Amino acid sequence: MTDNALLLGALATPLIGAILALVSARSNQTQRAIGVATGGIAWLFAAGLLAQVHELGVQTYALGGWQPPYGIVLVADALGALFAFMVTTIMIAGLLYTYHCHDKCMTYPAFVPLFLLMEVGLVGAMLTGDLFTLFISMELMVLASVSLTAISDDQFGLEAALKYILISSMGTLFLLLGIAAMYATLGTLNMAQIAQTLLTGERPFLAPAAALMLLCAFLLKSAVFPFHFWQPDFHTTAPTPISAMLSSIVVKVGVYGIFRLVTLLFIEEAFLLERLLGVLGVIGIVFGSLGALRTYNAKRMLAYSTFAQIGFILVGIGWGNTLALVGAIVYAFNHAFIKSALLMLMGVVASYTKIKTADFAQVRGLGTKLPPLLGWLVLLGGLSLAGVPPLNGFISKLALIQGGVDNGDWANLIIVVAAGILTLMYMIRAWQQIFQQAPLPSTTETKPVGDSMVAPFLLITICLLLGTVFAEPLVQLVSETVRQMMNPQIYIAGVGLG
């Protein structure tokens, strides 16, 4: 279907919300209400879009009436619609968390507008049909998240933001070089037309170089080794709702870009790219798991854990078979809910300390003075991240392992299973230190009121539902998504170029 207004609605609603929130800068409560309301409306558009894509096929919207391959066209295939739905769902939880978060930065007039602009960048990246708009969307996402981290209450927030913006400029360079190579050789940036030309025409000389440069850009955005070193500081110092978005959905933009590279744009180079991704994924799994096991801060532990979780996804992409791709997408989807919930829960724990920190030295034994529900939620989140049934993390691990078995890569499969055990170790260790050990002198005094548990409670509930009631529908939905991805002609024809 052409000119589907749901595509425009999912993208424009948070942008309108950002403008309205900026106009309402004098009332922080009004800003937060606008944020939640527009986030909810964007979610409805994304949910409707996902349903229509799986019922009617690829949906498009040509901005300005310029039909592809000219102008800017928004495209929602099964993959883009699923990721847009994931993003808008998690963003609602982040906006809900701001309602009862006591950070000073939450009262700044720019906070909610920047938060919504980050959503615009995220949704735009998932629904764009051309590489240049993808670049614009990613840069909007980066600038918004950097600004939100720079205004954090943490004294190292500005340092972490500057570090990331400098590293991100490297990714921007890679992305622009890849885009320039594509335009110089093909004369277009429309992804459907690029895919059609590379599938049917003579192979351009710069195609392999462009594939490598675009891959480097997406790896940096996802904090994959060796582009990982900015992430722990950036995610640890960011305000809680922002760190929850960074570790759960912002890193998925790079993952989304990698899916597009190996299943749509560069089919001929996909085998070599997948081999490289498999190696980087294994390195990320080992490094991230060991780093999380030895770190001194609960939020930093979860940041290192993200290295490992992205590694699992890359290994699935590296295996390249249908089952492995299903496992990788299910893993990416479920990880967004688990990780955002855990980071919010650690933010709630930190909010009860006098100096608001998640350092184990400051929160050890703190859980004995906190609401019991908080401890149970952290435990459930940790078990889900480790892949213990009946939580959604188990479905993710199981789907990925099935792909590894089908591929016959037993060595990496053993590493994947062993890393799941390491995940269980560091999550149980963190839970025990916070909620089981006796309080230290530094944790004897706590604030009477902390941040609200409403948002993480809802996310953990979704994790339970995705691991039980909705487990089979999710796998079926993703299986249909992979079926479309494995046939690039479906995307090309859906845009109107087939």
pLDDT, tens digit, for every residue of 256-311?
999 999 998 888 888 888 898 989 989 988 888 888 888 888 888 888 888 888 98
371 backbone φψ class: left, alpha, beta (φ>0; ψ -120 to 50): beta
What pLDDT does residue 267 have? 87
What pLDDT does residue 236 have? 79
What pLDDT does residue 38 have? 94
The mean pLDDT value of the chain amounts to: 87
State the DSSP code for 308: H
Amino acid, res. 395: I
What pLDDT does residue 443 have? 62
Statement: residue 435 has pLDDT above 90: no
What pLDDT does residue 125 have? 93
CB distance 320 to 400 below 8 Å? no
What pLDDT does residue 118 have? 93
What pLDDT does residue 255 have? 92
For 359-403, the pLDDT digits (tens) are 888 888 887 888 888 889 989 988 988 888 888 888 888 888 888
Q: How many beta carbons lie within 10 A of that of residue 332, not counting itself?
A: 27
For range 110-136, the mean pLDDT: 92
The residues near 17 (Cβ < 8 Å, ≥ 6 apart) are 34, 35, 37, 38, 39, 42, 116
Statement: residue 117 has pLDDT above 60: yes
Q: What's the rounded Cα separation, in Å, for the pair 203 and 110?
A: 47
What pLDDT does residue 106 have? 84
Q: What's the rounded Cα separation, in Å, for the pair 207 and 213?
A: 10
Statement: residue 444 has pLDDT above 80: no
Q: How many beta carbons lie within 10 A of that of residue 200, not counting itself?
A: 8
Q: What's the rounded Cα separation, in Å, for the pair 1 and 3?
A: 7
